[in-house]
């Protein structure tokens, strides 16, 4: 199972940003029915892998992670590309910023999947 969650609770229950929906749809993916949820300590048992998009969220996830957690916790770019780069947050940008992040995530997810095949 693949899921998405945020550290904060300010968007819980809301659909993705309209620009995310637009970019995903342009790439053949319908995310319009997704709703935001907040990370829960149980996520570290429910999932095998928890991935942070940036170092700030990685640190917050490390603090939230229970001691007995079974899930691996990684920075996305480190897992995908072997770098310590943050995935930029396009929220305050334009549609082109969402397109850049989509491209980065697509290539990174492809790299991660190939590691598990």
Catalytic residue numbers, as ranges: 89
Q: Residue written as tokens 């492809």?
A: 110
Minimal CA–CA distance to 3: which of 69, 63, 56, 71? 71
Burial 78-90, CB ≥16 within 10 A → b, else e: ebbeeeebbbeeb
Q: Taking each helix axis from N to C terminus, what angle separates 95-116 and 18-26, rounded to the nearest 10 degrees?
A: 60
3-state secondary structure of 90: helix
């Amino acid at each position: 199972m693949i899921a998405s969650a945020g550290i904060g609770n300010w968007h819980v229950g809301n659909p993705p940003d309209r620009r995310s929906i637009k970019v995903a749809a342009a790439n053949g993916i319908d995310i319009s029915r997704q709703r935001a949820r907040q990370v829960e300590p149980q996520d570290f048992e429910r999932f095998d892998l928890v991935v942070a998009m940036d170092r700030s969220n990685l640190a917050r996830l490390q603090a939230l992670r229970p001691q007995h957690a079974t899930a691996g916790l990684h920075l996305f770019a480190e897992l995908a590309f072997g770098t310590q780069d943050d995935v930029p947050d396009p929220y305050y940008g334009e549609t082109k910023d969402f397109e850049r992040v989509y491209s980065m995530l697509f290539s990174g997810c492809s790299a991660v999947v190939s590691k598990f095949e």
